[in-house]
Each structure stands twice: as C-alpha cells, then as structure tokens.
Amino acid sequence: MNKRTLPIFLAVFALMAASLACSFGGELSLSNARMAFDEDGEQPTSVFAPSDAIYVVADLSNATVGTVVNSKWYYVSVEGVAPNTLIDEANITIEDESFSGTVHFFFPAGSDWPVGAYAVELYLNDTLIQTVTFSVQ
C-alpha cells in the first residue's frame, strides 16, 4: 500500500466501522415527540375537542431492558385550576432486550377535558427530554 492509498483505505475503514456500530445499537434516544389523534402519531395535532382521545407519541431508539419513559401531564392555563397543576403521570418500562419504535401515552375519548392549555413532559430514565403543548377548544 502506498502513501496515496493509505488515507483512502483509512477513510473507507472508518465509514465501515461507523456503519457497523450503528447496525449493532447506538445511542439511546427519545425524539420527535408530538401530540396526535392516534397512537402511531400519524395524525398529529395540537388542538383537541373536549371529548377527543388525546395521545402523546415519541420515537424511542436503542432502548434495552429496564429503560423507562415517563409522561407527566399538566394544566397550564385552565379556568378554575392553578397553573402547572399535575394531572397525571405514567411510565413505560421496556421489557425487550432491544427496542426501537414509537411509544405513546393517552387519555381515552370521552375524558371531557376542560377548555384550556396543557403540557406534557416526557422523561427518559428520569431525564426531561421534551415538553409538548396542546390546547382543548
């Protein structure tokens, strides 16, 4: 191997190594959080009617057994309720050896939400990752 091909060989080797590392796992992440009408997040919205089912959906990547995703739901501005009052919280604990896909939390249709503004905090292993907001009109 001469001096001219060595840098090319090293660059190709580095790309192959990076590609293999990605296929055998990667960094744990929770991303693309969104409010939606459905559990897959394919009908995103930030405005709901009082009787709608309300979903918060996010993409979880490279999770392993014991990974915990937590949601905390808050009143932000609702008449008769103190701002930032916790409504409810829920956890999802991953039981698979390896999981990448969507996770969701929801309140079913007919929950009759009061008109106002709301927020949902999403945590990954007790670290706040993102806050998403929505309103009920």
Listed as ranges, residues in the chain with pLDDT below 50 are: 5-23
pLDDT for the residue numbered 78? 98
Q: Identify the sign of the CA torsion 31, 37, 43, 44.
A: negative
The predicted-structure confidence for 69-96, as pLDDT tens digits, reads as follows: 999 999 999 999 999 999 999 999 999 9
What top-level class would CATH report for the domain 27-136?
Answer: mainly beta
Nearest C-alpha neighbor of 116 from the set 73, 72, 79: 79
Produce one character per residue of 12-51: b if its CB has 16 or more CB atoms within 10 Å, e if not: eeeeeeeeeeeeeeeeeebeebbbbbeeebeeeeeebeee
DSSP codes joined into one string, 56-107: EEEEEEEE-TT-EEEEEEEEEEETTB-TTEEEEEEEEE--SSSEEEEEEEEE
pLDDT for the residue numbered 6? 45
